[in-house]
Amino acid sequence: MSALDDAMRDAAASGIRFDHVPANGLNMHYARVGQGAPLVLLHGWPEFWMVYRPLMDLLKNDFELIVPDLRGCGFTGKPTSGPDANANAATHAEDIAEFTRRLGLDRFGMVGGDLGAYVLQAFSQAHGDRLKGAFYFCTPYPGLGSRYGQPDHLIEVWYQYFQQLPWAAKLVGASRESCRLYMSHFLDHWSGDNPEVFADMIEIYVDMFMRNDNIQGGFDWYLSSAANRRKWLEGTLPPPPRITVPSRFLWGRRDPLIRPEWSDRLGDYFADFSIDFADAGHFVHREAPAVCAREIKAFFGGR
């Protein structure tokens, strides 16, 4: 029995339910638990639904939590084998739009970080009338601009180019050890170089990434978003309409990937927002779940 099998069994024993729903050409897997107003949680990369387990335990008495594995990730998988350049934010947003309709959800709250924050922005643009509010962790957004590719930051974003190469997934997945070494770098470094944050999860992550073409599935996001990312850096990306969905941001003060000072242009892209900072790195939801739970309850409590 693998570490992933054990973790799934433990989650089921705690009351978390699992199912699949057909949506936008995918068989989307999701976890569900709790009671109250529905709240959809979107993970980032390199993650799947289980990264939210500590936060789910803290929120399940206040919300009905629905946590899908995004396109190419977790137990959801990919619609095609090999690299897929059709996994951009708009496609992910339509995945979630159909997924939530299939579940009978009309209006709900949504939480996202990293890749999930990209998807949440795209969903807010296309389906904002369905959202009671949007809660973001450490958010990549167009206001990062050329700063994201400045020379002293290239050491943090090299992987976004490597992962576009057609053989990258095969190299990372050549063995469990190569997969563990690669994924551990991001999990540990982005957590403020603290290997304890994901110490109990790393074998679970290796199990998950070594199945279901999941390494390539995650890399597909970087392949699909490359053109827009280049336009960000060049300053040629047309500005999108400002998002009007009420939005709350919780940013890690020690995030090395998306620096907290780069939140300074949120007002150019979000019409109704507030922001606070947590003593954490990139994975605020994993590093400081109690802080996140308090903030989420406060933000969605009256909506």
Catalytic residues: 114, 222, 282
Distance, first Cα to last Cα, the chain = 43
What does the alpha-carbon distance between residue 268 and residue 170 come to, in Å, rounded to a whole number?
A: 40
Q: How many C-beta neighbours within 10 Å does residue 275 have?
A: 16
* Token pair 């137990």: residue: 75
The three-point CA angle 250-243-268 to 5° equals 75
Tell me the C-alpha to C-alpha distance, in Å, between residue 60 and each of 35, 55, 96, 110.
Answer: 6, 9, 21, 15
Token duo for residue 47: 């993650």
Token duo for residue 208: 């998950």
165 DSSP 8-state letter:
S
What does the alpha-carbon distance between residue 89 and residue 224 come to, in Å, rounded to a whole number?
A: 8
